[in-house]
Structure 1
């Protein structure tokens, strides 16, 4: 029996082979590029345009803008009376209409924590104080912030450079801690702060505080109870020495 004759397959034209190879590579490239995009699109929350961490969309989009300018200056639209502490405690002073102050946050619908811009430049204690919101006018011309803007309406929210939203909640009522020493003399003018160092009020030299066991930043800040203010907060430990 004769063996069957096997004829060789006709060669594929060079142009056709190149076209097929290029088509395969192009299709693969398109699929590879399209897969993350589809995955990213499916991970976007409806209405907020935020992609899941690590997705293609998330890595391409910048994160939420962080507020770099925390201490924005405003002009007093009428005379502002500042008190060292909330509920009109301490000897007040005045900022005339047209002069500048720094808004930090609103305590409630009536009162706000502000800084006397002129006093702060001279380091004249106290420069932080509490004033009525209705005396604060619009923002003045300054680097990094537009003029003519009113103060924000947020309550107990202060501008922040470390949060994604650009705002941080004020811990207005700092929780109590175990008191270890009572009636400790404050030897240097101090400001009372919350756990994130947001100003709550003033504790002038000569005041008496109850020291607690709670500290922050390796003991730099110590939590105290201020009897005449009926509240806890942090002051710098060196203000007691």
Structure 2
């Protein structure tokens, strides 16, 4: 009986040893799998830039207005259309009759302003669109883009910084006026600091502000890149203008 017991013990011990070896063989790869691979250690690549505007041809000569045309607005314009240097524009968003567009020709030449309002009837593709967030998205200026590739956006809607459409408000809340400064150079009016363009200011225009002096809360001059809230009587528009266009605010 003892030899049988000895053999049984040997078999049992051998089985336990094999089981332990087998367990070790399984757990080692699992442990190594928890270590980050070179691919996992890489940072995620940046997403492609958002394609904000819908490029389209201007089908007839039309003026582009500095500000939304209405009564008592200082109606500054520049020419655009087939017979001008501004033949193609990018639609940012639309209203019932007008489109807020970017004139790439003027932007490349750094001739401010390059954002402005044009009648939608002047455009081949009269809508804003949401393009896929890919490198070099197809944007056909010579024909309307396919709806299944770049769906049109309703009036007052534009693509935001995360490529999600947002409603554009061109009438920011009013504030009490306490002072005013003179505009030095042409600049864009925005509905928030570095947000959607809604109009423009021109040299020599008055910009009314919500403070008696154009200074930051700490009493220091603004940096040229900072934004200042106020009202432009010439544009008949409340909004933010960059301090770079308001010399009294940076000196």
| Pairwise TM-score range, normalised by the shorter structure | 0.5 to 0.7
The reply to whether residue 200 of structure 1 matches residue 198 of structure 2 is yes
Give the Cα–Cα distance (whole angstroms) in 2 for the partners of residues 80 and 116 of structure 1: 13
Number of residue pairs matched by the alignment: 198
Structural RMSD (CA): 3.9
Shift of 1:192: 0.9
The reply to whether residue 127 of structure 1 matches residue 114 of structure 2 is yes
For residue 183 of structure 2, what is the aligned residue in structure 1?
186
What SS does the aligned partner of 2:210 have? strand
For residue 239 of structure 1, what is the aligned residue in structure 2?
245
Match of 2:136 among 130, 144, 152: 144
Moved more, 170-179 or 18-27: 18-27
CA distances 1:179-219 after superposition (whole Å, capped 9, x unpaired): 2204x322322221121422111111121221114979966
- Structure 2 alignment gaps of length 5 or more: 34-43, 130-134
The alpha-carbon distance between structure 1 residues 147 and 233, as it changes in their structure 2 partners (threshold 3 A), is closer
For residue 73 of structure 1, what is the aligned residue in structure 2?
55
For residue 224 of structure 1, what is the aligned residue in structure 2?
230
- Asked if 1 retains the 8 angstrom alpha-carbon contact of 2:185 and 2:245, the reply is yes
Shift of 1:168: 4.6
- Asked if 1 retains the 8 angstrom alpha-carbon contact of 2:99 and 2:119, the reply is yes
Shift of 1:223: 0.7
Greater relative CO, 1 or 2 (CA 8 Å, sep 6+) = 2
The alpha-carbon distance between structure 1 residues 193 and 19, as it changes in their structure 2 partners (threshold 3 A), is same
- Asked if 1 retains the 8 angstrom alpha-carbon contact of 2:199 and 2:237, the reply is no
Structure 1: which 4+ aligned runs deviate by more than 6 Å?
214-217
Larger strand percent: 1
Normalising by the residue count of structure 2, what TM-score does the alignment of the two structures yield? 0.61
Give the Cα–Cα distance (whole angstroms) in 1 for the partners of residues 16 and 23 of structure 2: 10
Give the Cα–Cα distance (whole angstroms) in 2 for the partners of residues 76 and 222 of structure 1: 34
For residue 89 of structure 2, what is the aligned residue in structure 1?
101
Normalising by the residue count of structure 1, what TM-score does the alignment of the two structures yield? 0.63
Alignment of 1:1-150 (within 5 A): 10-11=9-10, 12=12, 14=14, 17-19=17-19, 22=22, 67-71=49-53, 73-87=55-69, 89=73, 90-97=75-82, 99-106=87-94, 108-137=95-124, 144-148=136-140, 149-150=144-145
CA distances 1:41-65 after superposition (whole Å, capped 9, x unpaired): xxxxxxxxxxxxxxxxxxxxx89x6
What SS does the aligned partner of 2:153 have? coil
